[in-house]
């Protein structure tokens, strides 16, 4: 008896965009793919389960999220050998700020097709409605949680001419706005809240007025921040912006000399002047 040969048919990994709030944003094509797929790999099966129940879709699910993505990779690839797989996140386009890259790379390496099913995306939705330039932009996802790391990340992009897009949570958005003001200066900004949902809100103005607005109006829901890129004529930081950055650096425990060196580089102020201000504030 000759050796048996097992042939795997090449199937498709679909990257299916799901609503970021309004269920009407699920496209008919996305609904069909979710219904016809062999398996749905979901960031959170409880969240996706509610979506499937709404559309009366009974396709089986398996969890695939940040902390099990490597352990589950082989299992999902095995399922992909048996039929098409739909990858979804909790909201929006999978692969953006959630697991997806490793699975896409592995599926392609195994010879499978990978096909995007476009749909809702918070960064793009906020950008196009921001009133800021859309011809070139830089998306950076969530800003770091700690103030120093957040300021360091902002310093990396402060001289970029592109419109900047960040995601932020309600309990950190005020601190993020303060650091954006301190590092990037008082730029034009659009703050989008609860996109596509009942309480969708856009605040459009500058970073100072945005911070003041949300100091009065308690931040609620998920935020997308769209910030104007640097203009060639942008001047050095204002005195107020420099003082905010000094206060934040002192609070983080930076030494006066290290803080003066960093802020001189970021702000356009002379290092001696920054150091003198640190001494006065401290």
pLDDT of residue 8: 52
pLDDT of residue 234: 58
Please give the full DSSP string across the chain, using - where no structure is assigned: -PPP---PPP-EEEEE-B-SS-GGGS-HHHHHHHHH-SEEEES-HHHHHHHHHHTT----EEE--TTTHHHHHHHHHHHHHHS-EEEE-SSBSTTSSSS-HHHHHHHHHTT-EEEEE----HHHHHHHTSSS--SSEEEEEEPPSSHHHHHHHHHHHTT--SEEEEEE-TTTHHHHHHHHHHHH-S-EEEEEESTTSTT-EEEEEEHHHHHHHHHHS---S-EEEEEPPPPTT--SPPHHHHHHHHHHHHHTT--HHHHHHHHHHHHSS-HHHHHHHHHHH-
Where is average pLDDT lowest: 208-217, 233-242, 252-261? 233-242
Range 12-120 classified under CATH 3.40.47.10: no
Q: Against a cut of 0.75, is the pTM above it? A: yes
CATH for 123-227 (3.30.950.10, 3.40.50.720, 3.40.50.300, 1.10.1370.40): 3.30.950.10
The 10s digit of each residue's pLDDT in 61-73 is: 999 988 888 888 9
């Amino acid at each position: 008896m000759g050796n048996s040969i097992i042939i795997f048919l090449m199937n498709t990994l679909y990257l299916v965009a799901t609503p970021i709030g309004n269920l009407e944003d699920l496209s008919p094509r996305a609904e069909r793919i979710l219904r016809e797929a062999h398996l749905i790999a979901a960031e959170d099966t409880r969240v996706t389960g509610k979506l499937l129940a709404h559309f009366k879709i009974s396709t089986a699910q398996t969890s695939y999220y940040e902390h099990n993505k490597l352990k589950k990779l082989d299992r999902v690839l095995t399922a992909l050998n048996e039929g098409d797989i739909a990858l979804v996140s909790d909201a929006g386009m999978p692969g953006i700020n959630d697991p997806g890259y490793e699975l896409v790379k592995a599926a392609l390496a195994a010879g499978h097709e990978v096909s995007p099913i476009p749909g809702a995306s918070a960064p793009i939705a906020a950008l196009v409605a921001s009133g800021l330039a859309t011809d070139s932009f830089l998306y950076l996802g969530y800003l770091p949680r700690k103030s120093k790391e957040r300021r360091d990340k902002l310093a990396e992009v402060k001289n970029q001419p592109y419109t900047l897009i960040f995601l932020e949570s309600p309990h950190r958005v005020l601190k993020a706005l303060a650091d954006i003001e301190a590092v990037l200066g008082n730029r034009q900004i659009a703050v989008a809240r609860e996109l596509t949902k009942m309480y969708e809100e856009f605040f459009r103005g500058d970073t100072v007025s945005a911070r003041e607005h949300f100091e009065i109006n308690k931040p609620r829901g998920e935020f997308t921040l769209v910030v104007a890129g640097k203009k060639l004529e942008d001047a050095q930081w204002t005195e107020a912006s420099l003082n905010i950055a000094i206060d934040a650096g002192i609070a983080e425990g930076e030494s006066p000399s290290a803080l003066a060196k960093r802020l001189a580089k970021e702000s356009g102020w002379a290092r001696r002047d920054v150091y003198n201000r640190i001494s006065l504030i401290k």
